Amino acid sequence: MKFFSETYDGMNSAWIYDSAVRDTPGRVVRDLIRARELLLDLVWKDLRARYRYAVMGFLWAVVEPLLFMALLAVVFSFILGDRAALTGSGSRPYAIQLLCGLIFWQYFSAAVSSATLSLVEARHLVKKVRFPREVIPLAACLVPLVNLAIGFALLGVTHLLLGGRLSAGFLAIPVVFGLELLLTLGLALWFSCGHAIFRDVGNMVAVGLMFGFYASPVIYPAELVSRATELPAWLAALYWANPMAGLLTAYRNLLFEGSPGDVRMLIWPAVCAVLVFISGLAVFRKSAGTIADSL
């Protein structure tokens, strides 16, 4: 794999990555552009390691969500629950709702969990080479995009095969995903930095993602929460404070209705995404100089 020299002299002798620029959040875009070769190398290395010796290769990115969807659809539709209640709307097949929630949640979960451990796993690189440390968690967030792209195409095909129609709203889903991506990158910066200093953060993130899977409308529509009259008001407010609740609901509305529904549902996720990203970037940049000492 191709790495940069200690001071990037091979790339631009006039620019040296040191503490003078490392602690400046405003330079992150310029630094990442200069480090784009390393970023692409890390992404390609991870993809090759994941699929190089797998007989089915990238086909696993199609098989895995399909099998998971089939399993959950059978369990929750026919064994444990009322199928009509799970669909929320009679025109929305539960299998498609489930797949729509799964592919975007699985990206979020895979990216955050991988990015959290990324600095510790790349500690030999961090200790030996000077480069923008954001490259490592960013690469961890870009790798799962391959699976997401395949899953998104699979969602469209499956929706058509089951009698649905693709409206312009389907093409707007990537726009909403921009908010999820910004939120994911922000959490990746926070947690990767935190895990490098306190190893308990990795365990906390794993538990939080497991809890978030059931506390987000992944395997059920958010309509069930809205219709739950016995649910305390404070608990319902806490549920909707989860930005993934609004994002996953918007994805389904765009797929089935062609619009995100109540736009106010996206305001809070957008605010969360921007705040988490900006704060994560600032904290990461301030800690970049001492991260190697904690690894």
30 in a structural domain: yes
C-alpha to C-alpha distance for 29 and 25, rounded to whole angstroms: 9
Residue 4's pLDDT band, with cuts at 50, 70 and 90, is very low
CA neighbor of 133 nearest in space, from 66, 174, 73, 193: 193
Can you give the pLDDT at residue 151?
87
Give the pLDDT band of residue 68 (cuts 50, 70, 90): confident
Residue 16 pLDDT grade (very low, low, confident, very high; cuts 50, 70, 90): very low
The pLDDT of residue 79: 56
Query: pLDDT digits over 93-148, tens only?
Result: 888 888 899 999 999 999 999 999 999 998 888 887 778 889 999 999 999 998 89
Q: Give the tens place of pLDDT for each residue, 155-186.
A: 898 899 888 888 888 889 999 999 999 999 99
Is 1 contained in some domain?
no
Domain around 221:
19-294
- Kindly state whether residue 5 falls inside one of the protein's structural domains: no
Report which of 186, 145, 169 is spatially closest to residue 270, judged by C-alpha positions.
186
Distance CA(259)–CA(257), nearest Å, equals 6
7 located within any domain: no
Residue 140 lies in a domain: yes
Which amino acid appears at position 295 of this protein?
A: L
In a domain, 51, yes or no: yes
For residue 133, being part of any structural domain is answered with yes
Q: Count of domains in the chain? A: 1
Region 6-18: what's the mean pLDDT?
Answer: 43
User: What is the reported pLDDT for 91?
Assistant: 66
Say if residue 15's pLDDT is above 60.
no
Neighbours of 24 (CB within 10 A): 13
The model's pTM: 0.85
Residue 132 lies in a domain: yes
Q: What is the pLDDT of residue 203?
A: 95
Q: What is the mean pLDDT of residues 274-294?
A: 88
